[in-house]
Amino acid sequence: MGDYTNMSAYYDVIMTSGYYNYEEIVQSILSYREFSNVLEIGCGTGLILEEIAKRQPKAKITGMDLTEAMLAIARKRLQPFPNVSLTRQNITQFELEQQYELAFSYGGVWYFVIDGDKEPVLVSHLADDADNHQGFAHLEKHISRGGRLLLGVQGPHHDYERVIANGMKYSQKILPGEQGFTKHYYLADETRTVMAQTIQYRTYGFADARKLMAGYGFEYDPDANLNKRFLGFTKT
Ligand SMILES: C[S@@+](CC[C@H](N)C(=O)[O-])C[C@H]1O[C@@H](n2cnc3c(N)ncnc32)[C@H](O)[C@@H]1O
């Protein structure tokens, strides 16, 4: 599981200082196809959902996330949009009375890293293999047959530090492990570290990822890949 409580107060300023390109992410999702409902898995502070809600006022939009402090920010941000609902849940136990035509995760519970010409690697906030099975098993029940799952694509992670929009210094450190990697996130002002967060990620090679996901009805569908921002899977 990936608890973002420590980072939550600084999440928006870190991410909107060039970490993610939200404009392109949202454009990709909306360029995909008409949808009447959509689920974001690991919606965080709602930066993506806000843009979708502005542009798709008729769609039923749901965001789910594990971290209450992230959702508290999302609730404020999304309050003007009556078509958005938010739910605090762990994907490993996810239960809602609803099925979706489209679900996506961008940097949320799962995402892909693509390094040049190499095969995509699935990165999961769930460090245990059994939890990944549980997560896909619960997600499976909430995607309608023929529906789509889009998992975001990122470039390879590396250590770096940079000054962000609020003048603080963001840095990250990656420590490779046997079944994934550990990522340390820090934010510092001139005198001290104001935020430190560590997340343990599990990784799966592409063949293993496809096998894992196919076991829960998610078949890789290269036709549903979106502008290199997402890899697409069809729910059989
Ligand atoms: C990097 S943030 C991405 C947030 C958002 N998608 C965005 O683009 O700004 C990852 C989010 O995934 C959530 N998350 C991690 N593990 C989770 C789990 N097991 N169940 C639900 N949400 C989870 C975290 O709480 C965090 O808010």
Residue 47 sits in a domain of what CATH number? 3.40.50.150
The ligand 1 atom nearest the CA atom of 47: 9
For ligand 1, is residue 152 a contact (CB within 6 Å)?
no
Residue 3 lies in a domain: no
- Residue 68 Cα to ligand 1 midpoint, Å, equals 11
- Residue 41 Cα to ligand 1 midpoint, Å, equals 7
Write out the residue range of the structural domain in which residue 79 sits: 8-155+202-235
For ligand 1, is residue 48 a contact (CB within 6 Å)?
yes
Distance, CA of 235 to CA of 135 (rounded, Å): 15
Residue 186 lies in a domain: no
What pTM value is reported for the model? 0.96
Specify the pLDDT at position 4: 96
Name the pLDDT band for 33 (thresholds 50, 70, 90): confident
| Top mutation candidate among 5, 39, 65 for ligand 1, by most atoms within 8 Å of CB | 65
For ligand 1, is residue 63 a contact (CB within 6 Å)?
no
Residue 164 lies in a domain: no
For ligand 1, is residue 67 a contact (CB within 6 Å)?
yes
Residue 18 lies in a domain: yes
Residue 181 lies in a domain: no
The protein residue with its alpha carbon nearest to ligand 1, atom 13, reads 42
For ligand 1, is residue 14 a contact (CB within 6 Å)?
no
Number of domains the chain is built from:
1
Is the CA virtual torsion 88, 91, 95, 101 positive or negative?
positive
Mean local confidence (pLDDT), 146-171: 94
| % the chain with pLDDT above 90 | 89
Q: Is pLDDT above 90 for 228? A: no
Residue 185 lies in a domain: no
Q: What confidence tens digit (pLDDT) does each residue in 170-216 have?
A: 999 999 999 999 999 999 999 999 999 999 999 999 999 999 999 99
Residue 118 lies in a domain: yes
Q: Is pLDDT above 90 for 223? A: no
For ligand 1, is residue 28 a contact (CB within 6 Å)?
no
Residue 140 lies in a domain: yes
